[in-house]
Structure 1
């Protein structure tokens, strides 16, 4: 039986498409092979751990083995390349001179983390680059001036008192073991809701915000997983994953919540203007300042920008402060002599006064040294990544080409034995005035440095100082030896199974 003309034409078309497909696959394979060869040539000057042929050094980050990372810091001075899959590199640096060179440039944030973060919170200060970043930074700076922080310190004290009253109710007159990280996270959220929206949600007592905080944690997990999975770097593959749908759901919930508050505030402001009323608040919150900025710069600061900056402040501000305060409590519980010295310093500053105020904070010299040593040992943000827009040459003469993703490992920098003597030991005197003069400016970077340093660092330090002072005046802390602290390095450094302290009310 003879083959019909139609069948022959269909067969030839199929073969043509098949050959074209194979050709495209082969060309892509050649392109990737050449890329790998090029990267290997570029990195000959930088020895590092041997990568697996397919997944590279991915397990180092997925397993969260900080001790293994510290071994690499000792073995490979200044920097080493870490392969994420067979064709991408997250180039790790942890030397202060390298950090100075890196941070004083204007390279954009790395696409592999911040690109995914924008899907959840939008394009705010954390992810923006260039002129838009500069504009947003300039508009938001008034939020963190000292007059605003002074008014916010009173709000922080209210939220901290709610936390302490809750602990006191649980403990009574007896010593009690409590999981404190979740409580501290809720206290931080309570503070942010008041300072951002002037909204008293009672979230420390009311469980209605559990889904909100849980959603932020889940989004962080998904973003971190995607950044370290080379397959998920491809939008098409990630699009069909369950994580993509979960991330979209979280993003929608976050947007709806903030949008509702923004619209309520706009409505209230309109009514005040129409009826000549004035708000009885004695401070300006974050939303006040952003709405004013939007009125003044209507064409350049859109509703999308407004949502992104509000979300950025909420997401970035909650767990960073909660984590830093938790690790501080851990260090003081583990080192009772430092705990007592901080307590006596605070009592001496307070004198006959009944409560901690803004004016007391600058006098907490030794307590501030303990805070800084905690931020060195347990930086909440353990790395910063950028994509080189042009080649970079480090002080020792070694170079990297444009396009490379460079990761400043703050953890590696803060635990580098070439910089810090006995880096695992809690020693607040490292930050005494005499030692500060000897230390490299870029050896301690909990809030980054250079033009893109953390805009909210003074807000964070104010809240941590207020909280630790008020906690130490009401409670003594010891560790629960049956529940050791296990750290999980994700986007934010967190406790794996919670963080337990034994608390005893001071009579």
Structure 2
């Protein structure tokens, strides 16, 4: 027997704004407290709107797999940035684009991209060698953004950017996405065409991104047939029924989406890993021992990765603590039951991997960093949907294997050459913006002898 939506528990909010001010000021801690106090489905009043926070793995399974077609994406703040790309689209358009792009992320094709990942990591580590010689500290997240951006541009688009251009594009992308993410829960926001400082900066950044993306597309159209990559698929693909090719706007939407999904999330996770290892010497020592035993100082290949189980456990535990996608929302097409409650059509449901990854029923001591959680004997029997760093079901992140291989290749390359230590006086905390990144900055020092 189900209970009506009016029976769903939740905190009392202020007049007009509801709990929006608390959600904006400290969303991560606020949502964790909500789950602990009210349970697995919580009603949140956000001014004129209501949102339901679902945190139990059974609910995530229902939303992302069992009844996924009934839960659609609706991201008005992202529409202008990502258009109808794979992350934001729904229905038949999404299905067509997913079928089109899936071959680009086949595991055999991804394995062929490892050489580019190694080459770009070598370029980065050459800079780090200079930092090690001089003893100069540096902000590691910026380094990771440059690295992952160059990797995605070379592997997906067979092109390259200068470091200066890559830095400018990366900053524009981050600023644009963070601006849009900030709009999502803002209770009062000026129209985008008002000349506010935030709107003007947003427009400048978006213009820079679109110029870069359309340049990549134009270059490919002029050299069509020379490459076997994602952009070639997008440019040459024809609809099986109509025979029509994708418009430049459609291609632009997918390229923007790949930029988003392909570099910021991985850069943030690699930065988190280095930060955590700098504060957990036992884990770092186990990693170094594993790398020494399997690799002996050489660069990893895709064939090596299954032989590095502890490395994967460190990555998984980092993604558990700090999943890049910390919250997302779905809108119900028709009514559905979550737990004991009946939700109506049109209801907005939020799921938060950050909160689910801390659910005390599935994760003992959830705030501690413990890669041993992911030993096969520990993970066996754990609810499949208790750990969803790339979400799950048909709309699971298409690039999850690409991201995992990238991290599994870059991490041993770093640790076999350098000791990475945190710079005192620069505290790091989770920054819940477009993705969950460490911030405000992650300053480190490196020395040789990894």
Q: TM-score, normalised by structure 1?
A: 0.83
What is residue 64 of structure 2 aligned with on the other side?
103
What is residue 324 of structure 1 aligned with on the other side?
269
> For residues 391-406 of structure 1, what are the structure 2 equivalents within 5 Å?
391-394=335-338, 396-406=339-349
Task: Report the 3-state secondary structure (helix = DSSP H, G, I; strand = E; otherwise coil) of the residue aligned with 1:494.
Answer: strand
C-alpha separation between the residues in 2 aligned to 1:237 and 1:196? 35
Post-superposition offset of 1:355: 2.2
> For residues 48-59 of structure 1, what are the structure 2 equivalents within 5 Å?
48-59=10-21
- From 48, 52, 56, the counterpart of 1:91: 52
What is residue 174 of structure 2 aligned with on the other side?
217
C-alpha separation between the residues in 2 aligned to 1:213 and 1:220? 11
What is residue 233 of structure 2 aligned with on the other side?
289
Which stretches in structure 2 are left out of the alignment for 5+ residues? none
- From 320, 323, 337, the counterpart of 1:376: 320
What is residue 146 of structure 1 aligned with on the other side?
107
> For residues 360-371 of structure 1, what are the structure 2 equivalents within 5 Å?
360-371=304-315
- Structure 2 vs 1, CA of residues 162 and 413 (structure 1 numbering), >3 Å: closer, same or farther? same
C-alpha separation between the residues in 2 aligned to 1:298 and 1:211? 38
Task: Report the 3-state secondary structure (helix = DSSP H, G, I; strand = E; otherwise coil) of the residue aligned with 2:87.
Answer: coil
What is residue 345 of structure 1 aligned with on the other side?
290
C-alpha separation between the residues in 2 aligned to 1:294 and 1:162? 38
- Structure 2 vs 1, CA of residues 147 and 430 (structure 1 numbering), >3 Å: closer, same or farther? same
- From 252, 268, 272, the counterpart of 2:207: 252
Task: Report the 3-state secondary structure (helix = DSSP H, G, I; strand = E; otherwise coil) of the residue aligned with 1:190.
Answer: helix
Q: Is the 8 A contact 1:78 1:93 kept in 2?
A: yes
What is residue 178 of structure 1 aligned with on the other side?
138
For residues 276-316 of structure 1, the C-alpha deviation after alignment (integer angstroms, 9 at most, x for no partner) is xxx4x7xx322122223248775263322211111100122
> For residues 148-167 of structure 1, what are the structure 2 equivalents within 5 Å?
148-167=109-128
RMSD between aligned residues: 2.1
Q: Is the 8 A contact 1:294 1:302 kept in 2?
A: no
What is residue 419 of structure 1 aligned with on the other side?
362
What is residue 159 of structure 2 aligned with on the other side?
199
Task: Report the 3-state secondary structure (helix = DSSP H, G, I; strand = E; otherwise coil) of the residue aligned with 1:230.
Answer: coil
What is residue 378 of structure 2 aligned with on the other side?
435
Post-superposition offset of 1:80: 1.0
Post-superposition offset of 1:218: 1.8
Post-superposition offset of 1:404: 0.8
Q: Is the 8 A contact 1:475 1:505 kept in 2?
A: yes
Report the structure number with the largest CA radius of gyration. 1
- From 10, 13, 22, the counterpart of 1:60: 22
What is residue 85 of structure 2 aligned with on the other side?
124
- From 37, 52, 72, the counterpart of 1:75: 37
What is residue 9 of structure 2 aligned with on the other side?
47
C-alpha separation between the residues in 1 aligned to 2:243 and 2:205? 28
Post-superposition offset of 1:425: 0.7
C-alpha separation between the residues in 1 aligned to 2:211 and 2:135? 42
- Structure 2 vs 1, CA of residues 464 and 48 (structure 1 numbering), >3 Å: closer, same or farther? same
Q: Is the 8 A contact 1:119 1:248 kept in 2?
A: no
What is residue 240 of structure 1 aligned with on the other side?
194
C-alpha separation between the residues in 1 aligned to 2:191 and 2:336? 32
- Structure 2 vs 1, CA of residues 98 and 241 (structure 1 numbering), >3 Å: closer, same or farther? farther
Task: Report the 3-state secondary structure (helix = DSSP H, G, I; strand = E; otherwise coil) of the residue aligned with 1:157.
Answer: helix
Choose 472-481 or 285-294, whichever is displaced more: 285-294
C-alpha separation between the residues in 1 aligned to 2:72 and 2:78? 11
Q: Is the 8 A contact 2:5 2:341 kept in 1?
A: no
Task: Report the 3-state secondary structure (helix = DSSP H, G, I; strand = E; otherwise coil) of the residue aligned with 1:407.
Answer: strand
For residues 24-70 of structure 1, the C-alpha deviation after alignment (integer angstroms, 9 at most, x for no partner) is xxxxxxxxxxxxxxxxx954322112111111111223213422332
Post-superposition offset of 1:247: 3.3
- Structure 2 vs 1, CA of residues 380 and 186 (structure 1 numbering), >3 Å: closer, same or farther? same
For residues 49-102 of structure 1, the C-alpha deviation after alignment (integer angstroms, 9 at most, x for no partner) is 2111111111223213422332222111102122222x1022111110111111
